[in-house]
A and B are shown apart, each in its own frame.
Chain A
Amino acid sequence: MKTLLVIVAAIASAAAHAASPCDGRALPEGPVPTGFEQAEFGVVRRACPRTELGLSGVGRAVIEQENFYANLRGGVRLDASMQPFPQLEVFASGEGFVFNQVIQSYRATHMGLGDTSIGATLLAFGRNGFALAPTARLTLPTALGLYQHSFPMGLEAGLLGLVVPFEELRLHGGLLGAATWAVTAADSDDRGALISNVGADLVLDDWVSVVADLNAQALHRADLDRLTVGLGARFAFFDGLGLEVGAVIPVAGAERNLASLVLRGAWRFQ
């Protein structure tokens, strides 16, 4: 196993040396980093590795007066990524605090830890303005107190991409397969999903950009779980600080949330 990884890393390193689109910018990039499921399940990541520490406020809501149903969720998420060597990024994120209130005829609230995800991305190819990176992520049910008898988990794996036709435009995308299951005495209800993203960062200046995404997830809860549009604005300061604000809005599919919002700040170390 060790040998295999060394070989892969060496190949990737060599390939990455020729005009890689991945650079050291502090400006955030990739898809708008917020979604609609447990932890970051279904949120496609950026292809380029970073060593970065980020803190986000996130929120989303289902409000259906006609069905007497509302599900309000907000929280604070800490995320970290590290490059043990330049082409490999290992990452983790956890919701340090989450507020979740569900309102039907009854109302119940959970406040406390949220869920966690861990994973890795390997920049397998990066030159001539094009990058390709396989990735995998595991979602863990660390929201103690929210889950009573059933602990859901998820695994996503797939390919991330970045194309930079010119400096002001960075096109990103990804295609992942996913599976979810639960540790439970009831039915685990194992499921699969397909997750995809295409999007673009328009770099207006080296300290500001805007992003637009089109995301789709299918087969997890419906033929089309959701088709969403993501929009965001990004800023960079002091050579390492990146800020972004974004929203992902469902436009089709079975998704009931009105939108998912994020405000994120991150410091890039490398």
Chain B
Amino acid sequence: MQNFPRLEVVVVALLAATTLTQSGCESEGCLRGEEGCEVPSACQALAFTCADPTVELAVMTAAAEGPGGLDAMGAAGDWLLRNAEVEVVIDGLDHPAHFAPTGGSILDLANRDRDDDTTNHVVQVVGALPTDAVHYLRARTIEGDGFVALQLEGHLVGDERQRVYTRYELRACEPGLRVRTEMVNGSDDTVVWSNADGTFWGGRSMLAFTPSPGEGYLHPSFGLGTLNDVVRETPFVVGTSHSVPPSAVAFVPCNVENVTGFHSGQVSTTGMPRRIITPRDYQVYERFLAVRPGAGAAPGVDVALELRRQLFAEPFSTITGTVTLAGGRASSLGQHARAAVMLREGSLGDPAETLVPWTEVVPGNDGAFRARVPSSRSYVLQVIAFGAVQAEQQIDVGGDTLDVGSIEIAAAGEVTLDVTVDGVPDHAQVLFHPADDDTALAVTSQYFEQGVVCAPLLGPPNGGSPACNRVLVDGQQAIDVPAGNYDVFATAGLFASIARASITVLPGESQTVTLALERLAPPAGALSADFHVHGAASFDSTIPDFDRVKAFLAAGVDVIAATDHDAVWDYAAAMEALHADERIALMAGLETTGLMLFKLNPDVYYPQVIGHWNFWPVPFDDDAPRNGAPWDELCEPGTLFERVAARGFPVADGVIQLNHPWADADFARDLGFPRALGVRLDQELPRAFDGTGAGLLLRTPPGSSMSNGDYHTQEVMNGTENSAFLPYRAVWHWLLDQGIARAGTANSDSHSLHDSILGTPRNLVRTSTAVVGFDMAQFNADVRAGRMIGTNGPIIEATLESGAAIYYPSILPVAPGGAPALHVRVHAPAWVPVAEVRILVNGEPWVIGGDELIHPDDPLVPIDVLRLDRTIPLADLLPSGTRDTWIVVEAGDPLPQTGDLDCDLVPDTSDNNGDGVIDWTDVDRNGDKVVDADDLEGEEGPEPCRDDYGADSSADRPSTGPLQNPPAPARDHAAYLFLAVTPGGYPLAFTNPFLLDRDGNGTFDGPGLRGAP
């Protein structure tokens, strides 16, 4: 019958399909997840030869077996792969770091025997969420003829069924690793993946360089909501270090033509194109990760182009030339900021956003440079010096080589800084500032158009000295300075005078600038201390140890808590080399830094972290992961405190500090625990966990013996730029109002020479111990008790005196009898303005200012000047009644006017549009750091406040900020001197409180929230 042949066809088709599918496709690697599978070798088209065919893989037994470098963190139990060219450390499975939930990631990537690792971490990811990272379960080593390999097996954090297999392979003679990652979607969900390497640059560290129009080192900013708008496809990505010793890493794809990813100063991803991956599908990514020595992007670009020649038959040409100076110190060539050559594809006159930067090379000491670029293209060659383009020309690259000859750039002036302290050469810091607007216009620049603005740019901002506009000196120091008129300031810290010189720098001419400082008598019975300091051991710093310790000495700080991110460091070698042990007591400590988001706060739907916490002392163990620091992720603070204690932190004698309690989140990670919890200062803090975010602040996490509230100190001042003082102070006062007393501290949180000045601000701890014969336990006991002030200049000596009894500020309650009086004595070096003294009684200020204070005539006179000495009967200050009361004394400038637009009683906005009113028109809504009409587009008026901002509080809460300090004074203003050595800061000091037990119950219960009956 005619109809049935159709049925026959159907049946035959079914049978055929079944046969085909049963035979399946040939499996490769570990895609089928079979026991004992082997991921194949990647990048088969590559071949390198050399004289030394050795290659080895071993499990480290000590850190010294691995490479060194600013970010070298290899420890016992990690894997070391090594050949004649490179050394690579893969962290052990039980050594998780940074964003990775387990080990199995690249921890160190260095050139053989050069100790030049500046790579924080390279992990496998599929996206930017915590669930997009890889959890490795198993590892095995593979050795063969001319290669070694480490194969790891695991799954994505979000779903165990999404299997991941990675093979790291090192072959003899090759300048890096061949890596193949297979990811199989064994789940039921359709997902979007980019099988990629996530590189954690950290910030202030390596810079990502991408050959993408208008980019290079410059990358568009983004948030999680705009991430997809900034994803780029490029033939490779290079990471460059801008400190010493320099190196470059290159990420080159093998099985696709371009890498896809996003880039910033903190992280980059480089991998496969974003794709929808249906269940049962998979994605394989093969790439070569190279590392080469040398400054600039060129070492990485050169090897990337060689790899692409072998993989994709893409030809390259070698450009050579010489940069010469029209005078001045030829020996200054070879320094990154002095001259760098950038090659951008395009034509002179093309808009900058269309030019494609292909490489950036630093000429040698003789000015000669050599770099590779893709062949048969036209380029704009630029020589960049002190952050500005000083020469450019068009070149057309045809053949294999092109010599562009000599390119002359303007001479700089040579300035020899000759700094003495008390008549002898000693450590100091010198800051250059333009002396007029023309010079400011000429020399203001950014390092490769990104990051901090410097005027002038004397050196890479995040490296050693000179950095940005700052120079560390110890006696005489010669540097190159671009032509212009400058005010040069020397400082040796808060207890010394300031020296100032006005100079004119002419091209090609030399001069010596003599700056004489005098130390001022520090307060007796006190040690100055900075409890928040970073160096290259932190993932977001590349200041060499030597420069970091020189900064300690230049600041004249007595005690340092070394608090690097997620790693313990003791600066031992640099301390010894500089004989700093004789002048500084250094306590090795730690700043824990939550990076892995998790569900913390029951009030909001999105994951968070617990902010940053400092601990000191923490034992330093070079051979242990993270040098002895514990894994600090995915836990509440109480549990974290236990983990640190398990690593040797002395719970009885050590100090736990809550850092920057109200700082803005960074890369979606909260930096302050109270802010992460969404506490509101108009509400009482729950003393027991009530299911709310605020209820977490004091609770003891399940399974922990320590409470989230078991910290001893809280930062009230953080950073030389002190606009965040008012929010941090508000949190501190709010806790005092409720009888929750923690000592307040003031720290620099310095990460480099260009950001906060080390030791500004600092603490003055009233203690019986000294640097020589330092009794750490006694010192920390005094810190925990709050026997200290915080200051960036003014010194406050405040006592409560009643007959023979004298009480000092601390967090131990007192009940002075008789007729006590508050004695306030404020003094400061002549260069520190003190415009007012505030006596805060339960937060309400009594202000003493103007003519009531003594103001020195000449800020350059090397003397300490008494500003106020007054005794006030306590009865005149206290409120009526018998409720407990706290008193804090502050001194410095009047506080900036601020507003609280989201009604949580935390200052959040200043008068940013200058109209004299702080309101909704002062908010920088588009994040461009300028408050203007663009920020008001679509806005009709103020956003309403609510008692509860709900589960999506970031969306529902009224927009706020920024908080900005008052504009800088004019150069001829007396206060300019202070600002010149305290960039972005206004004079400020505070005491820890007097806690008055007025109701006599033996405890300090606080006066209650403001407005409470």
Chain A residues within 8 Å of B, Cβ to Cβ: 1-2, 5-6, 65-66, 68-69, 71, 84-85, 88, 90, 100, 102-110, 118, 120, 138, 146-150, 152-153, 181-189, 221, 254, 256
Instruction: Let me know if A184 and B224 touch, CB within 8 A.
Output: no
- Measured between C-beta atoms, what is the minimum distance from B690 to chain A in Å? 22
Which of B25, B128, B186, B952 makes the CB contact (< 8 A) with A105?
A: B128
B26-34, B46-54, B370-378, B773-781 - the one binding chain A: B26-34
In the assembly, what is the distance between CA of A139 and CA of B507, in Å? 78
- Measured between C-beta atoms, what is the minimum distance from B477 to chain A in Å? 47
- Measured between C-beta atoms, what is the minimum distance from B43 to chain A in Å? 19
- Measured between C-beta atoms, what is the minimum distance from A91 to chain B in Å? 11
In the assembly, what is the distance between CA of A106 and CA of B274, in Å? 7
Instruction: Let me know if A106 and B192 touch, CB within 8 A.
Output: yes
Instruction: Let me know if B7 and A5 touch, CB within 8 A.
Output: yes
Instruction: Let me know if B277 and A148 touch, CB within 8 A.
Output: yes
Known: A106-B128, A184-B281. 13 other contacts (CB 8 A): A6-B1, A66-B606, A68-B129, A90-B10, A100-B276, A102-B276, A105-B132, A146-B278, A148-B281, A150-B280, A186-B281, A187-B186, A221-B188
Which of B4, B228, B280 makes the CB contact (< 8 A) with A106?
A: B228
- Measured between C-beta atoms, what is the minimum distance from A32 to chain B in Å? 23
In the assembly, what is the distance between CA of A265 and CA of B192, in Å? 33
Q: Who on chain A is nearest to B262 by CB?
A: A106
Chain B residues within 8 Å of A, Cβ to Cβ: 1, 3-4, 6-8, 10-11, 14, 17, 20-21, 24-28, 31-33, 127-129, 132, 184, 186, 188-194, 224, 227-228, 231, 274-283, 605-606, 952
Interfacial chain A residues near B191, Cβ < 8 Å: 102, 104
Instruction: Let me know if B282 and A138 touch, CB within 8 A.
Output: no
Most buried by A among B11, B25, B191, B606: B25
Instruction: Let me know if B282 and A150 touch, CB within 8 A.
Output: yes
Q: 25 A–B contact pairs at CB < 8 A?
A: A5-B4, A5-B7, A6-B1, A85-B3, A90-B10, A100-B276, A103-B192, A104-B132, A105-B227, A106-B128, A106-B227, A107-B274, A108-B275, A148-B275, A152-B278, A152-B279, A153-B21, A185-B27, A186-B27, A186-B33, A186-B184, A186-B280, A188-B21, A189-B279, A221-B188
- Measured between C-beta atoms, what is the minimum distance from B848 to chain A in Å? 53
Interfacial chain A residues near B283, Cβ < 8 Å: 148-149
Q: Who on chain A is nearest to B11 by CB?
A: A1
In the assembly, what is the distance between CA of A270 and CA of B224, in Å? 55
Interfacial chain A residues near B606, Cβ < 8 Å: 66
In the assembly, what is the distance between CA of A182 and CA of B11, in Å? 20
Interfacial chain A residues near B227, Cβ < 8 Å: 105-106
Which of B17, B21, B33, B193 makes the CB contact (< 8 A) with A187?
A: B33
Q: Who on chain A is nearest to B29 by CB?
A: A185
In the assembly, what is the distance between CA of A85 and CA of B1, in Å? 11
| List of 8 A-B pairs having minimum Cβ-Cβ separation, nearest first | A105-B128, A84-B3, A105-B127, A186-B31, A150-B281, A221-B188, A108-B192, A66-B605
In the assembly, what is the distance between CA of A65 and CA of B129, in Å? 13
Instruction: Let me know if A106 and B231 touch, CB within 8 A.
Output: yes
In the assembly, what is the distance between CA of A153 and CA of B16, in Å? 14
In the assembly, what is the distance between CA of A80 and CA of B606, in Å? 46
In the assembly, what is the distance between CA of A207 and CA of B193, in Å? 48
Instruction: Let me know if B128 and A184 touch, CB within 8 A.
Output: no
- Measured between C-beta atoms, what is the minimum distance from A78 to chain B in Å? 19
Interfacial chain A residues near B32, Cβ < 8 Å: 185-187
Instruction: Let me know if A187 and B11 touch, CB within 8 A.
Output: no
In the assembly, what is the distance between CA of A267 and CA of B7, in Å? 24
Instruction: Let me know if B605 and A106 touch, CB within 8 A.
Output: no
Instruction: Let me know if B31 and A146 touch, CB within 8 A.
Output: no
In the assembly, what is the distance between CA of A221 and CA of B283, in Å? 22
Instruction: Let me know if B278 and A106 touch, CB within 8 A.
Output: no
Q: Who on chain A is nearest to B23 by CB?
A: A183
Which of B129, B276, B281 makes the CB contact (< 8 A) with A149?
A: B281
Instruction: Let me know if B194 and A106 touch, CB within 8 A.
Output: yes
Interfacial chain A residues near B128, Cβ < 8 Å: 105-106
